[in-house]
Structure 1
Amino acid sequence: MADKPSRAVVVYGEGFAGMVNQSHAGLHSLASLGSCGFLALRVSPSSAEIQHSREIRELSQLLDAYDSLDALNKELNEIDPNLQVQNRFSGLRAAFFSADSRIVSFGKKLGFRPLDIDELVKKEAMPAQSAIASELLALLGLSEGKVSENNDVDLVFLHIKAGQEIRAQKDKIAITAGSDFLDGLVSSVMGSAQPGSDVAARFHFSVVLSFDETAEDEGGASSALISPLKKDTDLSLLQPCQSYCFKGGKRLDNIRHHHPMLVAQLQEGVTRRDMAGEFSFQEFQKRSGNLTILADHFLHEIAFKLWRAPKYGA
């Protein structure tokens, strides 16, 4: 366990879960070295009831704001301060990046400081992934193998949507957010926190990948089921309700039991290495150590690792 508060980078790759292939060595390395599992999502309401985009609904669960979406629809100055991360998690200073202005606005309402891509790509001579990784750790006060106590933020959250174009340095650089770009970014971040270094002991890295919009419509017939037991079998009647179906001690009746988010986490001396050898749904289902938790609990788990919250759940 770290003997001082850690800092963290969370990369949320929207729509990437079905795009990872054998060539993505960075993602597979993270999975093989870290702790892996699933984040269960809620079933989307019927089309007549949908007031928020799928992107916002899924991100809000990852940031534990799904149950407050109606309040977050209000103007920024009307938002309940108790919803903001710094008030929920003992002064947690968090920054947020997305190329989608709607997502940025949502993050601001939760108290995240918005980052511009030009803040992350400052060195034209470097590959974009290396420049971004370097700047991310600099924001956290983790640069050149050293740890500074004068860090700007404790957590940086990156939202990257599959296939989206990201323009940097006043349109001089255009980045297509494909699976190779994401894999290179993961490799670059891991390379900035070498095992045994002072940085590695204070740095937490999480990568969360979601499936694309077609996942919402596939239902129980999907091959990406969290539980191997189908509901129409006799054995399923003997299976107790799983912990990811509960929040605040109350059972939720709108859990989506297919196409969860995939998560891999790595921090030296903190996360437990499991048997997963690659970043894939099938591998996580067979060999991951964390199994499934509710997506709403994810941010609490990160805050706990940063010494900003008590342990959430079991």
Structure 2
Amino acid sequence: MADKPSRGLVLYGDGLARFVHIHLHSLAAQSLCGFLSLPENVDGRTIGEFLNLVDAYEPPISERFMGVRAALITLGLSVLQSDELAMELLKLLGFEDEKVLDTNKFDLIFVHVYINSLIGEIISKAKPKSEIGSRLHLSVVLSYGDTESMKSDLASLIPRQSYTMKGSNVREYCPMLMAQWQEGVTRKDLVKTFSFQDFKENGGNLTIPADRFVHEVAFKLWKAPKYGA
């Protein structure tokens, strides 16, 4: 358990779960991995999935989570080089020159961008036993894109989890894949690759509804009680 509140960075890749590369596998191998389930009737797939992820149907995040300062950044592929982008994102969270600053502009940042090389840059700056590594809570979430042709079936996960019993509208296929990492804080499971099959067989985080994801992150920032506690 951390002795100080973390600062959260969420990297979201829409439609990228089928195009996973080396930095994502490296992150998965040192993270706690699992799934985020989605409702069946998400209106407008890309927008609807992202709105569920950030729980945008409720009051603003700052009202629900003790005044947390959050930002959403959506970028094209060529706006910044990955090393520049990683540096700027960490600076907004109060991490600079391998140090944790006393002041930070944001507590939580969501980034919607192509993420493989960006992950490599961030991990290189949040090295084990560094100040940044101990305070940065990194989440990577990938969705599938076109769900109709995919065979990633949540119904095959046994035993059934409580979220499937609370409503009949849970989509049983194509969940979001999620990996979370913070040096010395998050647990590590047996996953070695960022893939549905590896998460299903070896992931330690199982499945939570996508609209509860922000609650889990806010807990790491000391802005909310543990979800499900």
TM-score normalized by the length of structure 2: 0.93
Residues of 2 paired with 1:283 and 1:310: CA distance? Answer: 30
Q: Could you tell me how far 1:223 is from its partner in structure 2?
A: 2.7
Work out whether residues 245 and 294 of structure 1, in 8 Å CA contact, stay in contact via their aligned partners in 2: no
The aligned runs of 1:168-183 (5 Å cut-off) are 177=114, 182-183=115-116
Does the alignment pair 1:187 with 2:120? yes
Q: What secondary structure sits across from 1:258 in the alignment? A: coil
Q: What secondary structure sits across from 1:256 in the alignment? A: coil
Residue aligning to 1:90: 66
Residue aligning to 2:17: 17
Runs (4+) of structure 1 exceeding 3 A deviation are: none
Residues of 1 paired with 2:168 and 2:64: CA distance? Answer: 26
Does the alignment pair 1:30 with 2:27? yes
Structure 1 gaps, min length 5: 46-51, 69-81, 101-116, 122-127, 161-176, 230-238
Does the alignment pair 1:305 with 2:220? yes
Bigger radius of gyration: 1
Q: Could you tell me how far 1:188 is from its partner in structure 2?
A: 0.5
Residues of 1 paired with 2:119 and 2:127: CA distance? Answer: 13
TM-score normalized by the length of structure 1: 0.69
The aligned runs of 1:1-314 (5 Å cut-off) are 1-20=1-20, 24-44=21-41, 52-65=43-56, 68=57, 83-99=59-75, 121=80, 128-160=81-113, 177=114, 182-212=115-145, 214-215=146-147, 217-218=148-149, 223-228=151-156, 241-245=160-164, 251-314=166-229
Work out whether residues 15 and 209 of structure 1, in 8 Å CA contact, stay in contact via their aligned partners in 2: yes
Q: Could you tell me how far 1:244 is from its partner in structure 2?
A: 2.7
Work out whether residues 90 and 309 of structure 1, in 8 Å CA contact, stay in contact via their aligned partners in 2: yes
% identity of equivalent residues = 46
Would you say how many aligned residue pairs link Structure 1 and Structure 2? Answer: 228
Deviation per CA, 1:190-246, whole angstroms, max 9, x where unpaired?
Answer: 11101001111111000000001x20x35xxx53111327xxxxxxxxx77522326
Q: Could you tell me how far 1:99 is from its partner in structure 2?
A: 4.0
Q: For residue 102 of structure 2, what is the amino acid of its counterpart?
A: E
Two-structure CA RMSD over aligned residues (Å): 1.9
Query: Greater helix share, 1 or 2?
Result: 1
Q: For residue 259 of structure 1, what is the amino acid of its counterpart?
A: C
Pair 1:266–1:240, CA change in 2 (3 A): closer
Q: For residue 226 of structure 1, what is the amino acid of its counterpart?
A: L
